[in-house]
A and B are shown apart, each in its own frame.
Chain A
Amino acid sequence: MTLELRNLRKAWPGAGQPTIPGLDLAVAAGSLTVLLGPSGSGKTTVMKLIAGHLAPDSGEVILKGRTLTGLPPERRGVAMVFQDPLLFPHLTLAGNVGFGLKMRGEPAARIEAEVAAMLARVQLAGLGARRPDQLSGGQQQRAALARALVLRPDLLLLDEPLASLDAGLRDEMRALIRGLQRETGVTTLMVTHDQSEAVVMADRIALLLDGQLAQAAAPAEILRRPETEAVARFFGGVNFLDGVVEGAGFRWGPVRLALDRPGPPGPARLTIRPEAVLLHPGPGQLAAKVRGVTLLGTQSRVELALAGEPLTALLQPAAAEALRPGDTVAVTLPPAALWRLPG
């Protein structure tokens, strides 16, 4: 593990700001971990605690075996990129990107070479003499990334680096960050509130809810096997089935479902992602009534009633086109997609 947070605590006497009641988190060397959470969940506070802009009440930040707690920001080997580019307005692009190397006391010739190489990597080659206000928003954000990466920090912190960009630029920047991160192998912790962004970019997602680590896992794992209902709901889970596990099956009202991993018998709550619910014409496993269809863009949401219980499915818009409220459809809930919530 490169970065370890051990029982990190931060409370605010006046409230208003989210409290971190004791956070444990580990980030593997060379990985991109996304710290995900709704606004007000304490993500930015965690970033500030790691970067050293804020002192924890207790607990430790350990980077490459070195305890950072108590060290000032400039001596942590942690480079941070903020939501806004925050380029130094009185310096040129090259001056900005070379700032950290200059602070380290690198010789001028070396700084020049490293800056030129880094600018080329973020597609800003030849623009080194420009002033920040002569750069577009996307160029500024790439410059901010270059300014941090050129230092080859032990840890790169990205605080919602895409939030200030337009949708089109965001995809481009997302790919650039992911590409550069893989290429340089810099251990990265990125903060975002956007779960789709986290799923696309992360090697591992750490979901923060109310200052507590709700779950930390690979994106596919956290999507399909959420540890709590809150985690499932955060990722758009809407289907929660209350019933009783009996042997290898699940009794849900009048319906019996097959399970891959039933666990011990007794009352249980199951979840299934809406995109895993299969609808097909003609007779199927179960019969359900369509209650409504909403086009969401690239997908359509179909509200169903299955034996009186609500169930939501996400389909390709073309597949949902023919459905009308009141229609009866056949539904399959694949056993592999049914997940029993622990506890």
Chain B
Amino acid sequence: MRAERLRLLAGLALALALVLPLLPLALWSLAHGWRFPDLLPQAWSLRAWGVASSAGVLGSLGLTLGIAAATTALAALVGLPAGRALGLHDFPGKRAVLLLLLVPAVLPGIALVLGLHDLFLRLGLTGSTHGVILAHLVPVLPYMVLVMASVFAGFDTRIEAQARSLGAGPVRCFLQVTLPAVLPGLLTGALFAFLVSWSQYLLTLAIGGGRVQTLPLVLYAYVAAGRNDVAGAIAVLYALPGILLLLGFIGRITGRDLGRVLRP
């Protein structure tokens, strides 16, 4: 009984922590002017949401989603074999590889951006969506590879030998035995990958050269222009995927789905 109540409290606290910072933004998005001493806006308007649902902003939302999805898919494609190698085998230079993997996560973002920008310019990859996707892979891959490495460190390869000796070829063995076994880890890695790509600002700005307008770039433009109402609406849009993903994954992370946590 006590454990149930604690769990309910924890669920509520989590929900509050997620929702509270969004509240002022949501209010801003609906305000028709909101001056200082007023606790709440005096007049309301849907004008900001009109801008936020314009073709330009929605296109930007779609682009951001597409870039994050593509980055995640590529990271999974690289992360699966790389994580397998790191998790299952000992080889000379393994520690160096792990260290190098961590560098993008440890390095100050601005240093990373400057170095990458120079490199991407030489390669002619700036100003394009695929260039931005490649650039996003740099901070995203460490998460994916390290998650997959820890998944494979606990993986018994004899289960693959077992599947093969029961008549499964290498492809079916991977799809029907290996993949289901590592799927929970892969989804966790993908969650991180998606969110890290989703929240990139500096990298997108530098590598995209202003031509790849993801949602954070649009959002920042409205903030800089002093349009708090539109910025509020876009910020709500921008925060939504993270919250939805977290709600969807909380079951996997805690071992139960949110409905069961919140049910008294």
Please list the residues of chain A having a beta carbon within 8 angstroms of any beta carbon in chain B. Answer: 51-53, 72-74, 76, 78-80, 82, 84, 86, 88-90, 99-100, 103-104, 147-148, 151, 157
Contacts and interface: CB of A to CB of B under 8 A. Distances in A.
Contacts of B158: 82, 84, 86
A51 B165 contact: yes
Given A88-B159, A88-B177, 4 more contacts: A53-B164, A72-B164, A86-B159, A100-B166
B166 A99 contact: yes
A74 B159 contact: no
A78 B166 CA distance: 8
Interface stretch (B5-13, B167-175, B193-201, B256-264): B167-175
Nearest to B162: A86
B161 interface: yes
Contacts of A157: 165
Contacts of A103: 166-168, 172
Interface residues of B, number: 18
B180 A90 contact: yes
14 contacts: A53-B161, A72-B169, A72-B170, A74-B166, A74-B167, A74-B169, A76-B165, A84-B156, A84-B158, A86-B159, A86-B162, A88-B177, A90-B180, A99-B163
B166 A151 contact: yes
Interface string B55-80: 00000000000000000000000000
Contacts of B162: 80, 82, 86
B181 interface: yes
A51 B161 contact: yes
Closest 3 CB pairs of A and B: A100-B166, A103-B167, A73-B164
B229 to A, nearest CB: 49
Contacts of B173: 74
A89 B161 contact: no
B161 A148 contact: no
Q: Which of A73, A78, A88, A104 has the most CB of B within 10 A?
A: A73
Contacts of A100: 166-167
Contacts of A104: 167
A147 B166 CA distance: 8
Given A86-B159, A88-B159, A88-B177, A151 B164 contact: no
A82 B181 CA distance: 18
Interface in B143-158: 156, 158
Contacts of B177: 88
Contacts of B172: 103
B238 to A, nearest CB: 36
Nearest to B177: A88
A71 to B, nearest CB: 11
Q: Which of B162, B163, B169, B180 has the most CB of A within 10 A?
A: B162
B157 to A, nearest CB: 10
Nearest to B156: A86
A73 B159 CA distance: 13
Given A89-B181, A90-B181, A74 B161 contact: no
A147 B173 CA distance: 16
Given A72-B169, A82-B158, A88 B164 contact: no
Nearest to B157: A53
Q: Which of B156, B170, B177, B181 has the most CB of A within 10 A?
A: B177
Contacts of B170: 72
Contacts of A52: 164-165
A104 B170 CA distance: 14
Nearest to B172: A103
Given A86-B158, A88-B177, A89-B181, A78 B163 contact: no
B244 to A, nearest CB: 26
A131 to B, nearest CB: 13
Contact of A148 (B166, B168, B180): B166
A153 to B, nearest CB: 9
Contacts of B167: 74, 100, 103-104, 151
Nearest to A77: B167
Q: Which of B159, B167, B168, B173 has the most CB of A within 10 A?
A: B167
Given A89-B181, A103-B172, A79 B159 contact: no
A89 B163 CA distance: 12
B161 A73 contact: yes
A88 B159 CA distance: 7
A99 B168 CA distance: 9
B43 to A, nearest CB: 56
Nearest to B161: A53
A103 B168 CA distance: 6
